[in-house]
Amino acid sequence: MARKAAIIGGGVIGGGWTARFLLNGWDVGVFDPDPEAERKIAAVLANARLALPALSDVPMPLEGKLTFHGTIGEAVEGAEYVQESVSERIELKQRVYAQLQQANPDVLIGSSTSGFKATDLQAGAPNPANIIVAHPFNPVYLLPLSEISGSPANPPKVVERTVQIMKDIGMFPLVIRHEIDAFIGNRFLEAVWREALWMLKDGIATTTEIDEAIRMGFGLRWGQMGLFETYRIAGGEAGMRHFMAQFGPTLKWPWSKLMDVPEFNEELVDLVAGQSDAQSGMYTIRELERIRDQNLVGFLRTLKDRNWGAGKVLREHDAARAATFHAQTDMGPKSQPLVMAHLQVLPAWIDYNGHMTESRYLFANSEAVDNFLRLIGAGMDYVAGGHSYYTAETHIRHLGEAKLGDRLTCTLQILSADEKRIRVFTRIMRGDDLIATVEQMCLHVDMKLGKTCPAASDVLERLMPLVAAHAGLPAPDGAGRAVGQPR
């Protein structure tokens, strides 16, 4: 039997919680008086179904059953956990808790509040022990952090149950040591927010410039090492203590409007450095740098794939460099294989044994064939017009090994072609060494109809002189070879 959670309040946060529980196999009962609640939650769910499974390397559980209810009592019936996500009005939250505990006295209630302490939420409740803060960050269905903040009224078993439920739905429960308004995350964000507002008001920076400073720089570091670990590396081989010695005095400088700062003294240095040692001292600074760099590469490549933020900068830089590479490719008919791509084996192309992985040989061939299609006028502009060459068959032979840093050249020979098909043979070379060949058959397709058709006349006018130039070339060794055929 599926476990059940009740979601009270179906806005942005409540919708995110609904998706998080539902996609992790829980049944979910929702109460929200908004007549648009079902539509809004359906929209959040549509996004979550696209995104959350992409994080998993194992099949997702069967999705739970989603129901909407006209009363709080109906929504909480049979639930083992409630996530309250109503507006940030303390009297409203307390009224909701009273109704919940009347309907289901022993149910565990977590609040999505952004700032109220558990003590404030529990005031006047029939069972304050079962009300606790479980503060998430948007989007709830993707970001794992849930700040768990209780009060003296919460026994350890309630905190433990809340922590376990958060883990059961794939979240990272961070238990707050002492009650404090706004917890950890929002207090930190509030300080940044206030400073940003001052810079806007004083005309120092625009909203765009402030966001660019975050997403092009330290935001990427924070995303995988936080604040203190980042600064530990900034201290060089001497670590956090050296960083504190270098930058601690700036606490007294007017770098920020927030000038109520701790006194910079040896006690503060010892506190920060000691905790930093406990946090990261098992790694050398160089190891931390390598971990940081690998994580940053992953972040940046993802942003690059989306053409977003810092990834857009990388794309533009690549485009400029690609123009140089394309300038070295052949641009017209000649009676020898065409030089169609220049590549270098990158770290992401390497498999467990240090060699270029098989998919990258196919990628190298794809780069050569794509450049060839651009050469004959069948590039992306042609595709946008509704026609393209589709791969029908591919045969790859591995004849050597490419390793990290190797520079590769791809040449392409046309074996045959007519108005509907092209058969090409790509050689992947490392200097004079032939390390792989790829034979490929492409069919010209009307993309709307999903059928083969003759290529456009201007494409054929560029293609056929190349075909004629290659007609007298000897057949490449291995062309037409069957898989497993003796050499």
- The pLDDT tens digits of the residues spanning 397-413 come to 999 999 988 999 999 99
DSSP H or E segment with residue 371: helix 358-375
Task: Check residue 449 and report its DSSP letter.
Answer: T
Query: Is residue 320 assigned to a domain?
Result: no
Q: Residues 184-196: what's their mean pLDDT?
A: 89
Instruction: Tell me the H-state helices in 118-265.
Output: 118-122, 156-168, 185-201, 207-213, 219-225, 228-234, 239-247
Lowest mean pLDDT among 61-75, 107-121, 277-291: 277-291
Q: Which of the listed residues 175, 194, 229 is the one where a domain comes to its end?
A: 175
Domain co-membership, 215 together with 144: no
Residue 142 maps to a domain: yes
* Per-residue confidence (pLDDT) for residue 468, from 0 to 100: 95
Is residue 475 one of the residues assigned to a domain? Answer: no
Instruction: Supply the mean pLDDT for the chain.
Output: 90
Q: pLDDT grade, residue 261 (50/70/90)?
A: low
Asked if 381 and 458 count as a contact pair (C-beta separation under 8 A), the reply is no
pTM exceeds 0.75, yes or no:
no
Tell me how far apart the alpha carbons of residues 61 and 23 are, in angstroms, rounded to a whole number: 7
**pLDDT for res 26:** 96
- Whether residue 40 is found in the same domain as residue 66: yes
Whose structure tokens read 């701790």?
Answer: 262
* CB-based contact 371:325 (threshold 8 Å): no
Measured distance between the N- and C-terminal CA atoms of the chain, rounded to whole angstroms: 60
Closest CA to 192 of 135, 112, 258: 258
pLDDT for residue 220 is more than 80: yes
Same domain for 61 and 33: yes
Q: Which of 281, 297, 313 represents a domain boundary (last residue)?
A: 297
pLDDT category of residue 482 using cuts at 50, 70 and 90: confident
Q: What are phi and psi of 412, to 5 degrees?
A: -130, 130
Same domain, 55 and 156: yes
Is 109 among the domain residues? yes
**429 located within any domain:** yes
Q: Answer yes or no: is pLDDT of 179 > 90.
A: yes
Q: pLDDT-based confidence at 198, cuts 50/70/90?
A: confident
Sort strands 81-84 and 131-136 into parallel, antiparallel or unpaired: unpaired
Residue 249 lies in a domain: yes
Contact 88, 11 (CB under 8 A): no
Report the number of distinct structural domains present in the chain.
3
Are 169 and 140 within 8 A, CB to CB? no
User: In this structure, are 161 and 190 located in the same domain?
Assistant: no
* Predicted local confidence at residue 271, as pLDDT: 84
- Rounded to the nearest 10°, the torsion over CA 355, 357, 363, 367 is 0
Share of the chain above pLDDT 90, in %: 59
Same domain, 343 and 440: yes
**SS3 call for 181:** coil
pLDDT at 325: 62
Q: Give the chain's radius of gyration (CA, Å).
A: 30
Name the amino acid, one letter, at 311: G
Q: Which of 175, 201, 217 is the last residue of a domain?
A: 175
Q: What is the pLDDT of residues 440-475, one digit of tens each?
A: 999 999 999 999 999 999 999 999 999 999 999 999
User: Would you call 414 helix, strand, or coil by DSSP?
Assistant: strand
Mean of the pLDDT values across residues 196-212?
87
Q: What is the pLDDT of residue 163?
A: 96
Query: Please, which pLDDT band fits residue 7 given cuts at 50, 70 and 90?
Result: very high
Q: Three-state SS string across 67-135, please? A: EEECCHHHHHCCCCEEEECCCCCHHHHHHHHHHHHHHCCCCEEEECCCCCCHHHHHCCCCCHHHEEEEE
pLDDT at 167 over 80: yes
pLDDT band at 1 (very low <50, low <70, confident <90, very high): confident
How many CB atoms neighbour CB 281 within 10 A? 13
Q: Region 276-305: what's the mean pLDDT?
A: 81
CA distance 149 to 119: 10
Whether residue 97 is found in the same domain as residue 245:
no
d(CA 109, CA 22): 18
Q: Which pLDDT does position 250 carry in this prediction?
A: 76
We report the CATH number of the domain holding residue 409 as 3.10.129.10
DSSP track, 320-367: HHHHHHHHTS--S--SS-EEEEEEE--GGGB-TTSBBPHHHHHHHHHH
- Same domain assignment for residues 18 and 164: yes
Whose CA is closest to 114, among 12, 179, 182, 14?
182
**Cβ partners under 8 Å of residue 437, min gap 6:** 396, 397, 399, 425, 426, 427, 428, 476, 478
**pLDDT digits over 323-372, tens only?**
766 677 777 788 899 999 988 888 778 888 889 999 999 999 999 999 99
Which pLDDT score is estimated for 58?
Answer: 65
Q: Are residues 166 and 189 in the same domain?
A: no
8 Å CB contact between 158 and 108: yes
Same-domain check for residues 357 and 421 = yes
Please give the structure tokens belonging to residue 306.
Answer: 């989306």
Predicted confidence (pLDDT) at residue 105 exceeds the cutoff of 80: yes
18 and 38 in a single domain? The answer is: yes
Q: Region 106-117: what's the mean pLDDT?
A: 96
| 438 belongs to a structural domain | yes
Q: How far apart are CA 115 and CA 88, in angstroms?
A: 8
d(CA 224, CA 292): 7
pLDDT of residue 259: 67
Q: The domain containing residue 360 runs over which residues?
A: 329-470
When pLDDT is cut at 50, 70 and 90, the band that residue 162 belongs to is very high
In a domain, 486, yes or no: no
Are 212 and 271 in the same domain? yes
Query: Which residues in 358-432 belong to E strands, given as ranges?
Result: 387-398, 407-417, 421-430
